[in-house]
Amino acid sequence: MGDFTPNEMMTIAASRALTGEDVCFVGIGAPSAACNVARLTHAPDITLIYESGTIGTAPDVLPLSIGDGELCDTALTTVPVPEMFRYWLQGGRITIGFLGAAQLDKYGNINTTVVGDYEKPKVRLPGGGGAPEIATSSGEVYITMAQSKRGMVERIDFYTSFGHGEGGDHRKRLGIETKGPTLLITDLAIWKPDPETKEFTVVSLHPGVTREMVQETCGWKVKFAEKLEETPPPTALELSTLRDLKARTDAAHKGGGPAAKRGSKDG
Amino acid sequence: MARFMPLDAAVRENLKDGDTAAFEGFTHLIPTAAAHEAIRQGFRDLTLIRMTPDVVYDQMIGMGMAGKLIFSYAGNPGVGLLRRLRDAVENGWPRAVAIEEHSHAAMANAYEAGAAGLPCAVFRGYRGAELARVNPNIKSIICPFTGEELAAVPAVRPDVTFIHAQKADRKGNVLVEGIVGIQKEAVLAAERAVVTVEEVVEDFSDLHPNLCVLPHWTVTAVSVVPGGAHPSYTHGYYARDNAAYLEWDAVAADRERFREWMEENVMKAGPDDFAARVAGLRAA
């Protein structure tokens, strides 16, 4: 086993959750790297969809935005944005919605809108984009983000995208039939919702990670599964695939200088 | 009936103070040249609509042109936040901007409803989402057949839409290809539409029959502006200038530096400057 960074472990652990049968709506940022590592390793038949309308895309380098030309060049087809949201997402054809988060709570509710009050925000974030409907119309939702007390909070400032609400059967009470968040992959651990309460529970620690490390970087009191597993470390193939992808991305975006670093950060 | 004319005349004839205007483009084909022309002509009190307001709306808001913004994702793609928009929302500089915020699904449906001549859009959305609490234009409607509660938003009907496209033919028919985004709907939903294009070709007789073409009688004015989408890209013509998006983050971080940059690169520049900006981004 070679050395690897926590972010590399996060990306690879997230990629393992995807299968060749999945039709995955890829959120901007961290999810994009994981989805493409899956496609380049164990899930070559996965269908990756970006909200710009590209269906079945197979980018050689990671896109900087959801509308890069590379996504269209390598896609099976590219459809208009209204069709993407109406026929493909609302139509129930997406199995996995893969999202990142600025702020997340223990029930998988996501805030990407504001820090502070909506009318008088401390920080105005970009907003929901496609996420509010990805979160409710995809068959299930995977979330990936690096852990921090600022990001993983007891109470989010704004419910941009609904997860399990207050927990339990809250989705059902709102008439939402899809499963919602079923998996959270951080740089330290793999989390799954408790079957009853829907609170995210740590089920697997990445190699070298302790319970204390998970708690210190999380704003709520963390629950751990009774049988806690250890995430298998990255294989040589997974690691080389991710690093080659990043190197290609950096080379393609060079001239952008920091753009290259940005591409890496998402991995 | 599309009329070919220089961009400054097309903007002057089709945009007015107080208009509701959409400058659409979904990462691809952003009508930057048209937006810069509008900035030079100094319009005020605009209601700006766009699913993904990015650098050009940051510039227009920073120049104090917008009284209201209707949008669904306001970020600098691949870079971060829009700093001029933040300054307007958080500090009211240079003026306060009212916000009507939606999700992408809602905006896409609202444009489609506008193009279809409907008063509102109906879709399955906003379930559990807090935007429904802060935006009074998000309402619900009961399906008369199944009883399902669905979201409803007003149709988007801009006074004028600006888009950038690959090419027009001599009659003014317009071809859009690649990531086509919401542009067709944005043009058909609007009272008037101004299109900038990379080039004009004799006719479209050799095109694939199912391509996205806007007939000339749906377009008010066509202006030829090579490179007019920079720093965005035009599929088949030139690549996205990722460095410019990063540079913008630093420029927009400071009010003075922003004003100086706008003076140098927009106020003292013109549509003819765009071709040189994409020279290094064209495929070899």
Say what the pLDDT of residue A255 is.
53
Say what the pLDDT of residue B284 is.
66
- pLDDT, chain A, mean: 92
SS3 state of residue A143: strand
Query: How many angstroms separate the CA atoms of A35 and A43, rounded?
Result: 9
DSSP labels, A60-110: SS--SSTT-HHHHHTSSEE--HHHIIIIIIITT--SEEEE--SEE-TT--E
Q: Which residues of A touch B123 (CB under 8 A)?
A: 85-86, 90
Residue B12, exposed/middle/buried by CB under 10 A (0-12, 13-18, 19+)?
middle
Q: In the predicted model, is pLDDT for residue A2 greater than 80?
A: no
CB–CB of A68 and B71 under 8 A?
no
Question: A162 CB near a chain B CB, below 8 Å?
Answer: yes
Say what the pLDDT of residue A263 is.
34
Say what the pLDDT of residue A64 is.
86
CB–CB of B148 and A257 under 8 A?
no
Domains of chain B: 3-102+157-257 (3.40.1080.10), 104-154 (no CATH)
The share of chain A scoring above pLDDT 70, in percent, equals 94
Residue A125 lies in a domain: yes
Q: What is the helix (H) or strand (E) element at residue B249, kind and residue range?
A: helix B242-252
Q: Which residues of A touch B26 (CB under 8 A)?
A: 52-53, 67, 81
DSSP labels, B159-218: SEEEEEEEEEETT--EEE-SS-TTHHHHHHHSSEEEEEEEEEES--TTS-TTSEEE-GGG
What domain range includes position A157?
Answer: 6-187+234-265
Catalytic residue among A51, A70, A199, A238: A51
Average pLDDT of adjacent 10-residue blocks, chain B of 284 residues? 96 98 96 98 98 96 98 90 94 96 98 98 97 97 97 98 98 97 98 98 92 96 98 96 93 98 98 97 84
Q: In the predicted model, is pLDDT for residue A154 greater than 90?
A: yes
> So what's the ipTM on this one?
0.96
Query: How many angstroms separate the CA atoms of B211 and A167, rounded?
Result: 47
CB–CB of A160 and B86 under 8 A?
no
- Whether A198 and A107 have beta carbons less than 8 Å apart is answered as yes
Residue A97 lies in a domain: yes
Which residue type, as a one-letter code, is found at position B248?
W
Among A69, A131, A176, the residue with its CB nearest the CB of B127 is A176
Residue A215 lies in a domain: no
Read off the CATH number of the domain in which A240 is found. Answer: 3.40.1080.10
Residue A199 lies in a domain: no
The share of chain A scoring above pLDDT 90, in percent, equals 86
Q: How many domains does chain A have?
A: 1
Question: B interface mutation test: which of A49, A65, A118 has the most B CBs within 10 A?
Answer: A65
Q: List residues bridging with B50 in a β-sheet.
A: B71
Is A51 labeled as catalytic in the residue annotation?
yes
Residue A202 lies in a domain: no
Q: Which residues of A touch B126 (CB under 8 A)?
A: 132-133
Say what the pLDDT of residue A260 is.
34
Higher-confidence residue of A267 and A143: namely A143
Per-residue pLDDT band at A253 (split at 50, 70, 90): confident
Side-chain half-sphere CA neighbours of A51 within 13 A: 30
Q: Which residues of A touch B243 (CB under 8 A)?
A: 255-257, 259
